[in-house]
């Protein structure tokens, strides 16, 4: 069996993009149209890891690599950069950002290392001419998923000392924000105000996850998987009792939910 190399993948992508002999769909794509697929493939990698499906992980990593190759090919066609430039840029960045591994720098602890990491990134922004914004929050991409951007904004703020001393005050802040949501519902649930207050709750939840050392996205993925697992079990229980789940009253559905949870706890 022939084992294909990275060079083979680059050649395949170039052929797919060939205006005369390539794939019409691939030829028609641009950076914007492919961006959504790139994000989707990254999430599918995370999903494979959550499921501990290593065969699928290998496949999904290939799909993600294809996205990098796709973008690099389009860039090469426009004379912007090539795949080799991408590899060089990330290699140089890793060497530059890890002077404690590839140089003589020594850090006292992980906190000092993370502070240095942010300083190095700040110097990189200056080197690129991005000097107009000297805020500690400069460079946090607006293209990130909002929970991730919240996490990064909080990390940057924490690096300046603007940080809760522990999880307890964050929990108290969460209770305060939830109460403000309750008040909004009591006063008529104005959509704009509710959006604002619920946004505050979510922002504090990201902060709480950060203090707990929990990945917010992973926690939500696990919660989604749990809900889906239990909901499907409710549907099975309802069908076994002779009636569709949607035909049950809310009270009956809640009883099925409790049974689904008990079944799960018993395994």
Give residue-wise pLDDT tens across range 116-153.
887 888 788 777 776 556 788 887 888 888 998 999 99
pTM: 0.65
16 contacts 26 by C-beta, under 8 angstroms: yes
Predicted local confidence at residue 130, as pLDDT: 63
CA distance 176 to 149: 23
Predicted local confidence at residue 31, as pLDDT: 96
Predicted local confidence at residue 131, as pLDDT: 59
Q: Which residues of the chain have pLDDT under 70?
A: 130-133, 267
Of the candidates 151, 140, 138, the one whose C-alpha atom is nearest the C-alpha of residue 203 is 151
66 contacts 8 by C-beta, under 8 angstroms: no
Burial classification of residue 71, based on how many CB atoms lie within 10 Å of its CB (0-12 exposed, 13-18 middle, 19 or more buried):
buried
CB atoms under 10 Å from CB of 34, counted, come to 16
CA distance 175 to 267: 34
Predicted local confidence at residue 243, as pLDDT: 86
Predicted local confidence at residue 217, as pLDDT: 87
Predicted local confidence at residue 267, as pLDDT: 63
């Amino acid at each position: 069996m022939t084992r294909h190399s990275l060079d083979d993948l680059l050649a395949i992508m170039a052929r797919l993009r060939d205006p005369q002999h390539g794939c019409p769909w691939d030829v028609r794509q641009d950076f914007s149209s492919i961006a959504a697929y790139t994000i989707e493939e990254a999430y599918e990698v995370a999903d494979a890891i959550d499921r501990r499906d290593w065969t699928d992980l290998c496949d999904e990593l290939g799909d993600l690599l294809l996205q990098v190759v796709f973008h690099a090919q389009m860039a090469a066609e426009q004379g912007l950069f090539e795949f080799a430039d991408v590899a060089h840029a990330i290699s140089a960045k890793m060497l530059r950002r890890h002077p404690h591994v590839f140089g003589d720098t020594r850090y006292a602890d992980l906190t000092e290392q993370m502070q240095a990491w942010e300083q190095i990134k700040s110097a990189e922004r200056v080197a690129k001419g991005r000097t107009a914004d000297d805020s500690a929050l400069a460079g946090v991409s607006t293209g990130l998923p909002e929970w991730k951007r919240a996490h990064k904004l909080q990390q940057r703020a924490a690096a300046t000392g603007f940080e809760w001393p522990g999880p307890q005050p964050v929990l108290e802040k969460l209770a305060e924000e939830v109460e403000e949501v309750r008040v909004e519902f009591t006063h008529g649930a104005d959509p704009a105000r509710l959006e604002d207050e619920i946004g505050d709750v979510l922002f504090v939840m990201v902060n709480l996850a950060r203090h707990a050392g929990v990945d917010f996205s992973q926690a939500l993925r696990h919660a989604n998987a749990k809900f889906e697992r239990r909901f499907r079990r409710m549907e099975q229980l309802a069908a076994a009792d002779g009636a569709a789940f949607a035909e049950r009253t809310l009270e009956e559905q809640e009883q099925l939910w409790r049974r689904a949870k008990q079944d799960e706890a018993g395994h």
